[in-house]
Amino acid sequence: MTVLALINPQSMLGEEIKQDLGRRKELWSEVRLLATAEDQSGGVTDFAGDAALVQDCSAETLEGVDFAILVAGNQDQVESPPGLSAATTLIVVDPSGEAPTGIPVVAGISSASIEDQAPKVIISPSPTTILLAHLLEPLKDLGPTLAVAQVVMPASSKEQAGLDELFNQTRSIVAMQEDKPTTVFGKQIAFNLVPVSTVDSSTLDQLDGVLGSVPAVALQVVQAGVFHSLACSLFISFEADPGIDQVRTCLAANPKIEEVGEDESPGPTDAAAREEILISDLRAVPARPGSYQLWAVMDNLTRGGASNVLEIIEGLSATTS
């Protein structure tokens, strides 16, 4: 049976992974909750309905572990856990800074590429990468040449600190107070949109690792004053016009995508806590024959985080059993 280690479960994403592991008991025989920071170890939390101790991450607590899930958080540099065995597969989740070299994997999109390689470091990419991979991969056989994506990020991309700052900014504005904390985002995001340029290169590098360089992708990321879930406006051009019916058919072939009616107009709140990527407003662009645009929303903690990790483990466990 499979032994898992969840490293840094105290974050929002770590908590989501922990809850999902508690429901997916068929994936493991043992789960160890570990922490890389001294002030995080020694605490007691709930796991699968029982009390569980968060231990220090060390060679001793990692002994015999098949998969170590390292929740990277918003660290500038992510290092491999000390004492990690060569027999252990490390899964680094959503690294925003420098991380161990590994293969980016989006479950159901690039999973097959790792079955023969058996890499020891896997990157579960950023939610933006996961969302774009699910939207673009089904269309690759239609000959896409260019994709332009505008992705709106929620405050929870900065973990609980981001949610707290958004809440406090909103409360200050409503109360007409001058004090609006900006420690996390650097400026007001409540009732606001702020361009985020520093994540473009790492996100596109991850996307190239998953899909290759076709189509060429231009990306603008925007930080918004919403609590959870990504929103994306996607424009895509094809070498030859496939027709909207074919575009719709290819997207529908991805079981993670659900197209909703035009009258539903899904926003980030509609995707919260859901596994599916919701798309709507799929239409041709009259001024650019062979081009289409759509709107998509996805929960950054479920499909964009925990679900991807567990499905990676499920796929790798099946190939080694």
CA distance 96 to 221: 14
The structure tokens listed for 9 are 């479960």
Return the pLDDT at 39: 73
Sign, CA torsion 304/306/309/311: negative
Rounded to a whole number, what is the largest CA-CA distance in the chain? 62
CA distance 17 to 11: 10
Ranges of H-type helices in 187-290: 200-211, 244-252, 268-271
Are the C-beta atoms of 52 and 74 separated by less than 8 Å? no
Q: How many C-beta atoms surround the C-beta of residue 25 within 10 A?
A: 10
Return the pLDDT at 263: 78
In the block, tokens 């009259």 appear at: 286
Q: How many C-beta atoms surround the C-beta of residue 283 within 10 A?
A: 13
For residue 16, give Cα distances in angstroms to 4, 6, 8, 224: 15, 11, 12, 22
Ranges of H-type helices in 79-158: 127-136
Return the pLDDT at 116: 57
Are the C-beta atoms of 134 and 256 separated by less than 8 Å? yes
CA distance 158 to 145: 33
The structure tokens listed for 149 are 């994506």
Return the pLDDT at 317: 81
Residues of the chain with pLDDT below 50 are none
pLDDT, one tens digit per residue, over 255-285 is 999 999 877 889 999 999 999 999 999 999 9
Helices 307-320 & 12-23 angle (0-180, nearest 10)? 50
Helices 12-23 & 159-174 angle (0-180, nearest 10)? 120
- The residues, any chain, with a CB within 8 Å of residue 139's CB and separated by 6 or more, are 236, 238, 247, 250, 251
Are the C-beta atoms of 4 and 152 separated by less than 8 Å? no
The structure tokens listed for 74 are 């918003």
Q: Which domains are delineated in the chain?
A: 3-125+305-320 (3.40.50.720), 130-299 (3.30.360.10)
Are the C-beta atoms of 68 and 89 separated by less than 8 Å? yes
Full DSSP string of 170-187: HHHHHTT-S----TTTSS
Q: What are phi and psi of 121, to 5 degrees?
A: -130, 120
DSSP β-ladder status, 89-93 and 230-238: unpaired
End-to-end CA distance of the chain: 9
Return the pLDDT at 30: 94
Q: List the Cα angle 17/22/24 in 5-degree steps.
A: 90
Q: List the Cα angle 272/9/30 in 5-degree steps.
A: 110
Return the pLDDT at 96: 74
- Average pLDDT value for the chain: 90
